[in-house]
Amino acid sequence: MSVSIKTVPTKPYDGQKPGTSGLRKRVKIFQQENYTENFIQATLEAIPEPGGAKGATLVIGGDGRFYIPEALQIITKLSAGAGEFYASPEHRGQLYTVFDVMSVYKLLAYAKGLSLRICQHDIFALEAMACRVSKLIVGQNGILSTPAASNLIRKYKATGGILLTASHNPGGPDNDFGIKYNVANGGPAPESVTNKIYEITKTIKELHIADIPEVDFTKIGSTTIGGLTVDVINSTDDYVELMKDIFDFDLLRNFFKSNANYRMLFDGMNGVTGPYGYHIFVKELGLPESSVMNFKPLPDFGGGHPDPNLTYAHDLVERVEKEGIDFGAASDGDGDRNMIIGKGAFVTPSDSVAIIAHYAKAAIPYFQKNGVHGLARSMPTSQAVDLVAKKQGLEYFEVPTGWKFFGNLMDAGRCSVCGEESFGTGSDHIREKDGLWAILAWLSIIAYVNKEKLGSSVHDVLQLHYKVYGRNFFSRYDYEEVESKGAEEMVDRLRSQIQSGELKGKKFGDFTVALIDDFEYKDPIDNSVSKNQGIRIVFEDGSRIVIRLSGTGSQGATVRLYVEKYSNNTAEYDADTQKALKPLIDQALIISQLKEYTGRDKPTVIT
Ligand code: G16
């Protein structure tokens, strides 16, 4: 099939800088003329060497949100058109045919010394053929959870992937859309790539769009358009196969069978994990369909906010308490976050990673086979996992917020389990955090502790852990969509206090400041340095507060205030988190002057 490439003039848009995890904006912004096209073409151009987009295989999919169907067609047309752009920049603006197979044959014949006539047109064609994206692997209906996409990139040795998601942000015509690029290791692109994308978006002038009919992504199968192959695949199969390799599904099935009264409820929050959860819990583990709720991906997530925390997953929380369900779990819009609860028990993500690390080798076949080589957490995450690492004699790392920072450590074999306070938990089986993996890890732990002591609950697992390690009380206060100016001034003021050193040694209530800094991270593998990653105030008793601005919001600024206090007083292990942290939170508000700068006297979400 012959494909013609249209060269379309475009103009740069401001603000196409990818944040913590890709570009996230309101749908209406993405719908502006060429806004999405600019960003996609910039992404294709920024694909790292060797190779760049030339002959690339890209995994494409998203969380089912509004505007994905349109974005899929845009990606296909730009992928089919990208080659010409790279091949012949000096010929930009020309409209000509590429992938004319006859032209290519003629040129090859010419190269071999045969006397076939060849014209300039044929040379363009050959150049283009050598340079464009060669294959897209797309989840059926554009559905791929973020962890499933990471797995596919690794499994099929793809060049990278374009993920269409704004994660936990609400969807629909008036809400958010997002695009992020993942590299060959399956993880989010590092800053070197995202910065390059941003630079290209600032100067982009032309788009190179293949003039091809729309591709039908509803049907599984393979299509070839010019030199581009589009494989539409089943969205869940490869991922479920991976989970079956990692966990002992027979053991889990037997656990539920022999504990017929043990009830679990999974909330897909009408995000992408519904079909994956259904496949795993209902089809594989044999649980009744009533064990899964909100399992149909909807373009607007059913009007909900697909963020698995106590505020937004309130339907699940309510049902677990009301119906006395033993194990409750939820995942976010794109399936990389998770929340674990039990009757009367909420597992903070910080505790979750520590507990999974503690039981990894005992309860999960993947770690029995591969070992546990090191642990890691993001800076604001509580230090509970550090305690596990110390006890097990493992290396551990504190990285900035953003899953991309774990990638190098995992690739170097120095990190096996890691997590973030933002409901992200995962391991080196892929290079994204993985909501369903965390839920299966917890079910494996529950099955394991029940072997030792029948009837052990989520609450019991927490208490057992605190008895060994002590408890790191942790909470995060989010102030969403505040005015950016006030939020930035608040952070600037703290930064100037770091410079002046005026807070060091100062007493706030019962807390004396031991250290204040703006977190900086030097990657131990590639030595890259990431500065200004959050204000850290550590007190003499080891308690800490952290303040940073979110990199994932789409409107105004979101201030995140994190507080942590350690206790090894057994009498406190069952205490209410908010009560235990109140004195520290009060001081955090005084030190930051958050109310004065943002005008908010209450957070939007407390986790
Ligand atoms: C993304 C990143 C996470 C990060 C989270 C919150 O998660 O992948 O690493 O912890 O955002 O970031 P911020 O505090 O800057 O908003 P997700 O689930 O939104 O992709």
Query: How is 413-450 classified by DSSP, letter by letter?
Result: T--SEEEETTTEEEETTSSS--HHHHHHHHHHHHHHHH
Calculate how far, in angstroms, residue 529's C-alpha sits from the geometric centre of ligand 1.
Answer: 19
Assess contact for 200 and 12: CB atoms under 8 A. Answer: no
68-87 and 120-131 helices cross at what angle (nearest 10)? 130
Q: Which of 194, 338, 420 to mutate to test the pocket of ligand 1 (most atoms within 8 A of CB)?
A: 420
Query: Tens of pLDDT along 196-252?
Result: 999 999 999 999 999 999 999 999 999 998 889 999 999 999 999 999 999 999 999
pLDDT value of position 381: 97
Calculate how far, in angstroms, residue 552's C-alpha sits from the geometric centre of ligand 1.
Answer: 6
| 337 in contact with ligand 1, CB cutoff 6 A | yes
Please state the pTM of the whole predicted model. Answer: 0.88
Spatial separation of the C-alpha atoms in residues 63 and 332, rounded to whole Å = 9
Pick the atom of ligand 1 nearest to 553's CA: 16
Find all residues with CB under 8 Å of 521, minimum gap 6, and list them: 379, 398, 399, 400, 405, 529, 530, 533
Spatial separation of the C-alpha atoms in residues 574 and 577, rounded to whole Å = 9
Spatial separation of the C-alpha atoms in residues 567 and 578, rounded to whole Å = 14
Which one is catalytic: 79, 167, 416, 422? 167
Assess contact for 65 and 299: CB atoms under 8 A. Answer: yes
Spatial separation of the C-alpha atoms in residues 203 and 431, rounded to whole Å = 31
| 407 in contact with ligand 1, CB cutoff 6 A | no
Find all residues with CB under 8 Å of 90, minimum gap 6, and list them: none
Closest Cα to residue 7, out of 90, 126, 129, 100?
90
Low-confidence ranges of the chain (pLDDT < 70): 1-2, 82-131, 554
pLDDT value of position 447: 97
Q: How many Cβ atoms from other residues are within 10 Å of residue 323's Cβ?
A: 11
**Which class for 589: exposed (0-12), middle (13-18), buried (19 or more C-beta within 10 A)?**
middle
Find all residues with CB under 8 Å of 46, minimum gap 6, and list them: 181, 193, 196, 197, 200
| 550 in contact with ligand 1, CB cutoff 6 A | yes
Spatial separation of the C-alpha atoms in residues 27 and 173, rounded to whole Å = 6
Assess contact for 228 and 136: CB atoms under 8 A. Answer: yes
Supply the residue whose CA is at minimum distance from atom 7 of ligand 1: 21
Render 328-346 in DSSP notation, one character per residue: EEEE-TTS-BEEEEETTEE
Find all residues with CB under 8 Å of 569, minimum gap 6, and list them: none
Closest Cα to residue 243, out of 157, 148, 352, 139?
148
Closest Cα to residue 298, out of 437, 178, 170, 146?
170
Q: C-alpha distances in angstroms, 170 versus 65, 86, 234?
A: 9, 36, 25
Region(s) of the chain under CATH 3.30.310.50: 472-606
Pick the atom of ligand 1 nearest to 421's CA: 10
Catalytic residue status for 416: no
Calculate how far, in angstroms, residue 20's C-alpha sits from the geometric centre of ligand 1.
Answer: 6
Region(s) of the chain under CATH 3.40.120.10: 2-83+132-234, 238-469
- Domain 238-469, what fold? Alpha-D-Glucose-1,6-Bisphosphate; Chain A, domain 3 (3.40.120)
| 168 in contact with ligand 1, CB cutoff 6 A | yes
Tokens 């939820």, located at residue? 330
Spatial separation of the C-alpha atoms in residues 536 and 519, rounded to whole Å = 7
The two structure tokens encoding residue 228 = 């581009």
Pick the atom of ligand 1 nearest to 378's CA: 10
Specify the CATH architecture of the domain 472-606. 2-Layer Sandwich (3.30)
| 422 in contact with ligand 1, CB cutoff 6 A | yes
pLDDT value of position 385: 97
Pure H helices in 204-336: 237-246, 249-258, 273-277, 314-322
- Domain 2-83+132-234, what fold? Alpha-D-Glucose-1,6-Bisphosphate; Chain A, domain 3 (3.40.120)
Polymer length of the chain? 607
Spatial separation of the C-alpha atoms in residues 342 and 327, rounded to whole Å = 5
